[in-house]
C-alpha cells in the first residue's frame, strides 16, 4: 500500500536510549528533564522566544480560546481541519466564518473586517498546509479592533516567513506534533508566543493553573506531555533536515511530472520558506476527483480528501454559505508524501492522474 503519509521513526535504539533516562529517574511526566531538554532544542531550532510543548496539538487552541475567546465570536476559516472549529465550539465560543483566498487557500483577509461585531473577541486563522496567512493585514485589523490573533499552525514546523519563524506571528501560535507531522512526538503539540505575560498564562494553564505545588494562578487543565513522548521528539530531532530534504524531492517530482493543464496546486505565499508538509492538488470538478481517487485506490494508493468537508457545513458550526471554501473542499486531495516514497511509486501515481486529467 502507498498511504498518504507514513510516520518517520528514528532507530529504535536511539529512542530507547532516551527512554532509559526517564526509566532510570523513574520520572515519566510532570515536566521531566527530557521535556525541558526538548523545549530548549526546539526553541533554538525554531528561533522562538517562548514554547510550551503539550500532549496533543488541539489543546493549545483550546487553552488560547479559553484565555482570549471569552465566550465571544471568533472569526475563523472554513477551510481547515475540524479541530479548528471544534475547539471554538468546545470552548463555548461562536465560529464566524470568512471565506478563503482561492490561490493561497488561507482566510481572505479582505473579508475579515466586515465580519467583526461587538461580540468579536479574536481571530483564529489557519496557515493552510504550512502556507502562511497574510499576517501583516490580519495584525493591522486586530490592532484596529482590539482583537487577539490565534494561528492554527499545525502544519508549520520549520516554516519561515520573511526570514523568521511563522510561530512568531499573532498573539498565540499552535503546532501539532502528531505522528503524521514532519516533527512528531507520537502525539503532541506546542504553543508559542512573543509576550512574557501571555507565556505565563499559557504555561500555568497547561498545568492545572499551578504556581508551585500548593498555589494556583488560575484555571488550568492537564496539557502536559509525557517523558515518553518527549523521548520520541529528542530521538527524531537530529533527522529534521533529512526529513525536509527528502520530502522536497517528492514535491519536486510532482511539480515536474504532473500535467497541470487541468490541475492546480497550491500557491505558496511570497517570502515563505516552506516545509513540504503536504501536496494538495485541485481538480476541475468533484467528479474528476472521485474518478482519480477510485483509480488510485484500485492500485492500493491512498490519497486523502483534506480538508473536507468545508467546516461551515458541519452541523454544530451552523455557518453561512462559503462558496470558495465549499468548492475547493469538494475538489482537493492530498497526494502521498513521506520519506522513502520511491520514484517508481511516484511515477505510478503521476501516470494515473495524468491519464485521467489530460
- Which sign, positive or negative, has the C-alpha torsion 186, 85, 74, 323? positive
Q: Are residues 178 and 280 in the same domain?
A: no
Give the DSSP H/E element, type plus range, for residue 73: strand 73-76
- Whether 49 and 131 map to the same domain: the answer is yes
Same domain, 86 and 147: yes
End of a domain among 184, 208, 238? 238
Q: Domain of 230: which CATH number?
A: 3.40.640.10
Helix axes 82-90, 59-68, angle to 10 degrees: 40
Please report whether residue 100 resides in a domain.
yes
Instruction: Report pLDDT digits (tens) over 93-143.
Output: 999 999 999 999 999 999 999 999 999 999 999 999 999 999 999 999 999
Q: Quick one: 46 and 176 in the same domain?
A: yes
> Quick one: which of 33, 31, 43 has its CA closest to 193?
43
2 in a structural domain: no
pLDDT tens-digit readout, 329-358 = 999 999 999 999 999 999 999 999 999 998
- For residue 128, the 8-state DSSP code is G
- Whether 203 is in a domain gets the answer yes
Residues 180 and 291 both lie in one domain: no
Question: Strand, helix or coil at 215?
Answer: strand
CATH number for the domain spanning 324: value is 3.90.1150.10
Query: 3-state SS of the chain: helix, strand, coil percent to 5?
Result: 40, 15, 40
Domain tally for the chain?
2
High-pLDDT (> 70) share of the chain, %: 100
Helix (H, G, I), strand (E, B) or coil at 52: strand
> Are residue 157 and residue 291 in the same domain, yes or no?
no
Mean pLDDT of 29-54: 97
Q: Are residues 219 and 301 in the same domain?
A: no
- Identify whether residues 122 and 224 lie together within a single domain: yes
Whether residue 150 lies inside any domain: the answer is yes
Is 83 part of any domain? yes
Average pLDDT over residues 181-206: 97
Same domain, 26 and 174: yes
| Residue 332 domain-assigned (yes or no) | yes
In this structure, the answer to whether residues 113 and 158 fall within a common structural domain is yes
Confidence category of residue 2, pLDDT binned at 50, 70, 90: very high
Q: What is the mean pLDDT of residues 306-321?
A: 95
- DSSP conformational letter for 238: G
Domain edge (last residue) among 198, 218, 238: 238
Across the chain, what does the average pLDDT equal?
Answer: 97
**Structural domain contains residue 4:** no
213-253, pLDDT tens digit by residue? 888 888 999 999 999 999 999 999 999 999 999 999 999 99
Where a domain ends, among 238, 258, 283?
238
Residue 39's domain comprises 12-238
How high is the pLDDT of residue 30?
A: 92
Does residue 6 belong to any structural domain of this protein?
Answer: no
The cell for 218 is 488560575
Give the chain's length.
358
98 and 246 inside one domain: no
Q: Is 76 in the same domain as 184? A: yes
Q: Which residue has the cell 511516484?
A: 346
Q: And the C-alpha cell for 23?
A: 526509566
Amino acid at each position: 500500500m502507498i498511504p498518504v503519509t507514513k510516520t518517520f521513526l528514528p532507530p529504535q535504539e536511539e529512542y530507547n536510549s532516551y527512554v532509559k533516562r526517564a526509566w532510570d529517574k523513574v520520572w515519566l511526566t510532570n515536566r521531566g528533564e527530557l521535556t525541558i531538554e526538548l523545549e530548549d532544542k526546539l526553541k533554538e531550532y525554531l528561533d522562538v522566544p517562548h514554547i510550551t510543548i503539550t500532549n496533543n496539538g488541539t489543546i493549545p487552541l483550546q487553552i488560547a480560546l479559553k484565555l482570549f475567546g471569552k465566550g465571544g465570536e471568533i472569526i475563523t476559516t472554513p477551510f481547515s481541519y475540524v479541530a479548528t472549529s471544534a475547539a471554538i465550539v468546545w470552548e463555548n465560543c461562536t465560529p464566524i466564518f470568512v471565506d478563503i483566498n482561492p490561490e493561497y487557500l488561507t482566510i481572505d483577509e479582505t473579508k475579515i473586517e466586515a465580519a467583526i461585531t461587538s461580540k468579536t473577541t479574536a481571530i483564529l486563522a489557519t496557515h493552510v498546509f504550512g502556507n502562511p496567512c497574510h499576517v501583516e493585514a490580519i495584525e493591522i485589523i486586530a490592532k484596529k479592533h482590539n482583537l487577539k490573533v490565534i494561528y492554527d499552525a499545525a502544519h508549520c514546523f520549520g516554516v519561515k516567513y520573511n526570514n523568521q519563524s511563522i510561530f512568531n506571528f499573532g498573539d498565540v501560535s499552535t503546532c501539532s506534533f502528531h505522528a503524521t507531522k514532519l516533527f512528531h512526538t507520537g502525539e503532541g503539540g506546542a504553543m508559542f508566543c512573543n509576550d512574557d505575560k501571555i507565556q505565563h498564562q499559557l504555561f500555568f494553564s497547561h498545568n492545572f493553573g499551578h504556581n508551585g505545588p500548593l498555589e494556583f494562578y488560575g484555571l488550568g487543565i492537564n496539557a502536559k506531555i509525557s517523558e515518553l513522548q518527549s523521548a520520541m521528539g529528542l530521538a527524531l530531532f537530529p533527522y529534521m533536515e533529512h526529513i525536509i530534504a527528502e520530502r522536497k524531492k517528492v514535491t519536486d517530482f510532482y511539480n515536474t511530472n504532473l500535467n497541470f493543464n487541468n490541475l492546480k496546486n497550491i500557491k505558496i505565499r511570497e517570502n515563505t520558506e516552506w516545509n513540504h508538509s503536504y501536496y494538495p492538488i485541485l481538480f476541475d470538478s468533484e467528479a474528476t476527483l472521485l474518478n482519480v481517487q477510485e483509480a488510485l485506490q484500485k492500485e492500493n494508493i491512498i490519497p486523502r480528501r483534506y480538508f473536507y468537508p468545508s467546516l461551515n457545513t458541519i452541523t454544530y458550526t451552523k455557518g453561512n454559505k462559503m462558496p470558495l471554501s465549499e468548492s475547493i473542499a469538494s475538489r482537493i486531495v492530498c497526494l502521498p508524501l513521506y520519506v522513502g516514497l520511491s520514484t517508481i511509486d511516484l511515477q505510478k501515481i503521476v501516470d494515473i492522474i495524468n491519464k485521467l486529467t489530460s
